[in-house]
């Protein structure tokens, strides 16, 4: 995307502010009151902070700063983080500086994720490089430099969220987390693996151990990938790997917690799609059949909903404030037009939000809704 982005003039602070305000409206219309915004720069923080100061930030936002791919860029990110309120500091439980975003590999769509085996084309044909050798993707950061960067952030108590799509990439990420925790234990920093598409048995063992010993190693996953870009994934990963993609049921059986997300704008932002996809595991077009990933790794509605509420709240360091409806917690509530626990799975994707509350304040009410709010 860089060749296109270079042609676009830089956004002004006011344009970023207006973008945030627009996205707040979209989120509220989908019953969403908390988001994790990864890979931000100083202008994004300044925009969020100015809206917070003006009382206009009506969303709970947990940001990850851009860490780059060198020790120099890591030190720059650390300086930016240290110049803003850091965890456990919270700006009214609305704005949190939650760590840094790093990239271990590329994407499943472009076949640049770092794999042990070859990427495929059309499900069966090996994806060959210009030399005729099989394409297995590559690391975006020198693996040794990545470890040094993670060590720097870990020593300073900064949570790290690392993009890892391929199985080899995820192994390197979780082994790095285990290494730095062993060297300098810091329980509760909650380093995460963003996407975690194809965890190996080894990765799952390490993740389970990290969560148990250090409160770290949390997959932040996007079940929507199986739907929105699922036809691309099915052809690129291939039939041998497809059943192991986004293995929610296996993680649940191992006691591993994960959080659900959209990776917007890769997939639509609405959480209802990810909740549905966690259960249905269907592709959008059915190019390789409606369920090329199988159903063995599907979870039920109760588990899917937790991954987008209570477990996601943990990854925003707000589990004591939001994520469940309990006495003493913030009144962040979404009212839907149907009961998720009783409707057929196919109906979940199409449910409509009728009303959204943040801290007890009505921030959205659907047009034509029968719900009446005093004073509105």
For a pLDDT cut of 90, what percent of the chain falls above it?
A: 93
User: What crossing angle do the helices spanning 143-155 and 167-183 adopt, rounded to 10°?
Assistant: 40
- Per-position b or e across 284-321, b if 16+ CB within 10 A of its CB: eeeebeebbbeeebbbebebbbbbbbebbbbbbbbeeb
pLDDT tens by residue, 305-335: 999 999 999 999 999 999 999 999 999 999 9
Rounded average pLDDT over 247-273: 97
Rounded average pLDDT over 64-76: 98
Cα separation, 46 vs 60, in Å, equals 16
Q: Residue 375 above 90 pLDDT? A: no
Q: Residue 54 above 80 pLDDT? A: yes
The total of other beta-carbon atoms located within 10 Å of residue 53's CB is 11
pLDDT tens by residue, 152-173: 999 999 999 999 999 999 999 9
pLDDT tens by residue, 16-52: 999 999 999 999 999 999 999 999 999 999 999 999 9
Whether residue 45 contacts residue 82, with contact meaning beta carbons closer than 8 Å, is answered with no
CA nearest to 71, candidates 172, 151, 176, 139:
151
Calculate the average pLDDT of the chain. 96
Q: Residue 371 above 80 pLDDT? A: no
Per-residue pLDDT at 215: 98
| pTM higher than 0.85 | yes
pLDDT tens by residue, 111-141: 999 999 999 998 889 999 878 889 999 999 9
Rounded average pLDDT over 69-90: 95
CATH class of 35-326: alpha beta
What is the band of 374 on the pLDDT scale with cuts at 50, 70, 90? low
Q: Residue 103 above 90 pLDDT? A: yes
For a pLDDT cut of 70, what percent of the chain falls above it?
A: 99
Cα separation, 158 vs 87, in Å, equals 8
Rounded average pLDDT over 266-289: 97
């Amino acid at each position: 995307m860089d060749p296109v982005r270079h042609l676009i003039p830089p956004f002004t602070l006011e344009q970023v502010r207006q973008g945030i305000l627009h996205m707040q409206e979209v989120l509220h219309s989908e019953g969403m009151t908390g988001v994790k915004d990864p890979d931000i720069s100083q202008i994004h923080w300044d925009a969020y902070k100015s809206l917070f100061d003006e009382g206009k930030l009506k969303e709970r936002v947990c940001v990850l700063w851009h860490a780059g791919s060198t020790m120099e860029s890591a030190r720059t990110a650390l300086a930016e983080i240290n110049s803003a309120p850091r965890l456990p500091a919270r700006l009214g439980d609305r704005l949190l500086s939650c760590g840094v975003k790093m990239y271990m590999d590329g994407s499943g769509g472009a076949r640049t994720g770092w794999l042990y085996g070859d990427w495929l084309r059309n499900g069966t044909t090996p994806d060959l490089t210009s030399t005729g050798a099989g394409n297995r993707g590559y690391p975006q950061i020198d693996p040794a430099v990545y470890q040094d960067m993670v060590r720097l952030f870990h020593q300073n108590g900064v949570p790290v969220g690392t993009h890892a799509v391929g199985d080899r990439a995820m192994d390197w990420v979780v082994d790095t987390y285990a290494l730095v925790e062993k060297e300098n234990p810091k329980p509760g920093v909650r380093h995460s693996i963003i996407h975690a598409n194809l965890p190996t048995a080894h990765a799952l063992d390490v993740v389970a151990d990290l969560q148990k010993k250090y409160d770290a190693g949390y997959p932040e996953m996007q079940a929507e990938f199986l739907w929105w870009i699922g036809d691309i994934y099915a052809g690129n990963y291939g039939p041998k790997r497809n059943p192991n993609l986004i293995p929610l049921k296996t993680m649940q059986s191992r006691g591993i917690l994960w959080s659900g997300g959209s990776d917007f704008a890769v997939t639509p932002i609405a959480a209802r799609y990810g909740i549905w996809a966690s259960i249905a595991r269907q592709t959008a077009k059915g190019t390789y059949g409606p369920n090329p990933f199988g159903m063995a790794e599907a979870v039920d509605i109760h588990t899917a909903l937790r991954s987008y509420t209570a477990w996601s709240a943990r990854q925003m360091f707000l589990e004591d404030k939001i994520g469940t409806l309990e006495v003493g917690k913030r009144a962040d509530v979404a009212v839907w037009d149907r009961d998720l626990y009783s409707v057929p799975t196919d109906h979940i994707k199409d449910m409509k939000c009728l009303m959204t509350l943040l801290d007890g304040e009505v921030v959205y009410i659907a047009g034509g809704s029968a719900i009446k709010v005093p004073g509105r």
